[in-house]
Amino acid sequence: MTATSALTSVNPEARGARESRPTGFRPALARGILRLPVYLLLAVASVFSVLPFLWMVIASTHSTPELFGTPLPVLPGDQLWENLARLQESVNFSQVMLNSLGIAVVYTVFSAVVSVMAGYGLATYRFRGRGVLLGVVLVTMMIPMQVLLVPLFQMMASAGWIDSYQAVILPFLANAFGIFLMRQSFLDFPVTLIEAARIDGAGELRTFYRIVLPVARPQLAALVIYTFISQWNAFIWPLLMLNTEDRYTVPVALNTMIGMSRVDYSGLMLGSLLATLPLMLLFLVFQKQFVSGLMGGAVKG
């Protein structure tokens, strides 16, 4: 609750504050002067936060010489389409965006299904190996994934899966944080309702799908957003797995562009902008879930 509303809600501190503030001589003016530095500080922080972003937008509409020319361009230019054309030509960027999108969507869907199922199983039933599985899930959260890079790379190589999408998607499908999050949310579900559904003759799957799952919808939404973001951002594993340009994801393609002998800087800026746009959109539409998803992501550590 508190987590999801962090960006927009009001704090409890204030309520008391207003009543108990001492009213001195011309309090409004004095208060205003006292508060000016706060506004100034926040303005500076906001400008710093926005400037690189703004520069990315402006820069992606200018040619490379203009980016490094004096004075710096401060208004959008007219090179957007030229930059886009070059971006498309050098790394087939439309394909790259589609790859990223496809991988992220498929990964998110399957990962969510796995997490929801395992979370429900762990929360509701007792079965052999349950304790072991729960333990493994907890350990997964504490072990840095980089340990797995070498052996997973070898596994993928011997399976002949290098340069394939499934090699990017499969190894990290079982997301410990997701399983744990869903388990926690199912634990809160009153067990009497499940019993009642059974007495009414609903099967296990039906009980799960019709009765239990709808209640966990907010957590599921946060998980889906978090999972999508983490896959969209994923860099080191796709970098290791994909070596054909037409199969690259966006971060891998940007990395390749940096390494080219003649770097297309304005193209890079446009590419970065396009890489960020989906996350921006997601944030604007699902602000609440986005924030709680990020915070959940933080739990993963």
Question: Of 163-192, which residues contact another protein (CB under 8 A)?
Answer: 170-174, 176, 179-180, 184-185, 187-192
- C-beta of 141: minimal distance to another protein in Å? 7
Q: Report if residue 22 touches another protein, rule: CB under 8 A.
A: no
Q: Report if residue 261 touches another protein, rule: CB under 8 A.
A: no
Here's the x/- map for another protein, 97-136, by CB under 8 A: it reads as ----------------xxx-xx-xxxxxxxxxxx--x--x
- C-beta of 25: minimal distance to another protein in Å? 19
Closest to another protein by CB, 48 or 81: 48
- C-beta of 158: minimal distance to another protein in Å? 12
Q: What are phi and psi of 277, to 5 degrees?
A: -50, -45
- C-beta of 262: minimal distance to another protein in Å? 14
Q: Report if residue 213 touches another protein, rule: CB under 8 A.
A: no
Q: Report if residue 92 touches another protein, rule: CB under 8 A.
A: no
Task: Please write down the HEC assignment for all residues of the chain.
Answer: CCCCCCCCCCCCHHHHHHHHCCCCCCHHHHHHHHHHHHHHHHHHHHHHHHHHHHHHHHHCCCCHHHHCCCCCCCCCCCCHHHHHHHHHHHHCHHHHHHHHHHHHHHHHHHHHHHHHHHHHHHHHCCCCCHHHHHHHHHHHHHCCHHHHHHHHHHHHHHCCCCCCHHHHHHHHCCCHHHHHHHHHHHHCCCHHHHHHHHHCCCCHHHHHHHHHHHHHHHHHHHHHHHHHHHHHHCCHHHHHHCCCHHHCCHHHHHHHHHHCCCCCHHHHHHHHHHHHHHHHHHHHHCHHHHHHHHHHHHHHC
How many residues touch another protein under the rule CB under 8 A: the total is 128
- C-beta of 63: minimal distance to another protein in Å? 13
CB distance 204 to 270 below 8 Å: no
Closest to another protein by CB, 57 or 82: 57
- C-beta of 122: minimal distance to another protein in Å? 6
- C-beta of 227: minimal distance to another protein in Å? 14
Among residues 63, 220, 269, 289, the one that binds another protein under rule CB under 8 A:
269
Q: Report if residue 161 touches another protein, rule: CB under 8 A.
A: no
Among residues 94, 166, 233, 243, the one that binds another protein under rule CB under 8 A:
233
Among residues 89, 235, 243, 246, the one that binds another protein under rule CB under 8 A:
235
Here's the x/- map for another protein, 139-158, by CB under 8 A: it reads as -xxxxx-xxxxxxxxxx---
CB distance 4 to 291 below 8 Å: yes
Residues 27-86 that bind another protein (CB under 8 A): 35, 38-39, 41-42, 45-46, 48-50, 52-53, 55-56, 59, 67-72
Dig out the tokens for 25 from the structure: 């001589």
**Cα torsion angle, 115, 117, 120, 125, sign:** negative
